[in-house]
Structure 1
């Protein structure tokens, strides 16, 4: 699905855009006037964590559940735990910040890497470490991504990274291609209107 046909949450529609019209998420750094979509701005990520701001639209997230988009490996682990009736515990920290449900549904559909299983990463992590070693240019997202709601999150702002852990799955919306979330996004936007 073309990104310009995906309905935008109002706060996302107010975000700065790149030359193609893609809204630029709150945690995306800029370099020479251009957004660097495959990277995360440390300062903005810390601001979002400290202020409980959505990593996509930069607006306050109310108390309660938060959402994030997960790739194939984590999606499979969550799906297996839920199918077996076990809780899923995200014990390993991630650099991926949370957001509103509508914003994450939207992001899952418009970000080429998140939207399709055959999409490939455009960049390798700047300074690979144990959390980012898998972020290699050309790596495919893989089968079955998901938009996942969590009851809450924890975070730590370290000198080099902002780390997140997510607690208690409250919603699991798997997708092969993210356009499967179009009806859920429309319903969420109608509910919030």
Structure 2
């Protein structure tokens, strides 16, 4: 699905755009007037973590569940825990910050790497999207690696974070929702329903 056809949360619509019209997430750095989508800006990410703001739209996240997008390794681990009737908690930190449910559903559909299993990751090994690499559940994505497998939009009761000299690390607690996908277009109905709720157009 072309990104301009994906319903956009209000908060995402208020973000700056690149030359193609793509909204730029709150944690994305800029260089030479161009957004660097494959990278995560440490200071922007820290501001979002400290202010409990969405890493996509940059607006306040109220107390309660937060969401993130995960790739196949963590998606499979969550699915396995649920199938076994076991609680899920991944103690490995990730650089991927939390966001609103609508924003993460939107991001999963618009970001090619998150949306499709055959899309390949651009960027460096220091900058993960979806916490999805060959070497761990939430380690950095490898440049050129295809996502493969099932991704998911996942809700958690809360998050923890640590701000270091060069990055911000997150851990997510208390699984509350698991929405796996092969192609993120599968989330279209959920995104529309979320945006139809009062005060959910963020």
Both proteins in one fold, TM over 0.5 = yes
Q: Which runs of 5+ in 1 are unaligned?
A: none
Instruction: Quote the offset at 1:39 in angstroms.
Output: 0.3
Rounded to whole Å, the distance in 1 between the matches of 2:38 and 2:127 is 13
Instruction: Provide the C-alpha distance between the structure 1 equivalents of 2:110 and 2:140, rounded to a whole number of angstroms.
Output: 22
Provide the C-alpha distance between the structure 1 equivalents of 2:109 and 2:127, rounded to a whole number of angstroms: 28
Q: What is the rounded CA distance, in whole Å, between the counterparts of 1:58 and 1:134 in structure 2?
A: 23
1:164 aligns with 2:170: yes
In structure 2, stretches of 5+ residues that fail to align are: 129-134
Q: Does 2:182 align with 1:180?
A: no
Pair 183,78 (structure 1): closer, same or farther in 2 beyond 3 Å = same
Q: Deviations over 1:79-102 (max 9, x none)?
A: 110111101111100000000000
Distance 2:107 2:121 in 1: 15
CA distance in 1, matches of 2:164, 2:114: 27
Using the alignment, how far apart are the partners of 1:102 and 1:44 within structure 2? 20
Q: RMSD across aligned C-alpha pairs, in angstroms?
A: 1.7
Deviation at 1:11, TM superposition (A): 0.7
**Alignment partner for residue 191 of structure 1, among 173, 177, 197?**
197
> Which residue number in structure 1 is paired with residue 18 of structure 2?
18
Q: How does 1:1-150 map to 2 (within 5 A)?
A: 1-126=1-126, 134-150=140-156
How many residues are treated as equivalent by the alignment?
192
* Normalised TM-score (structure 2): 0.91
**Deviation for aligned residue 1:58:** 0.3
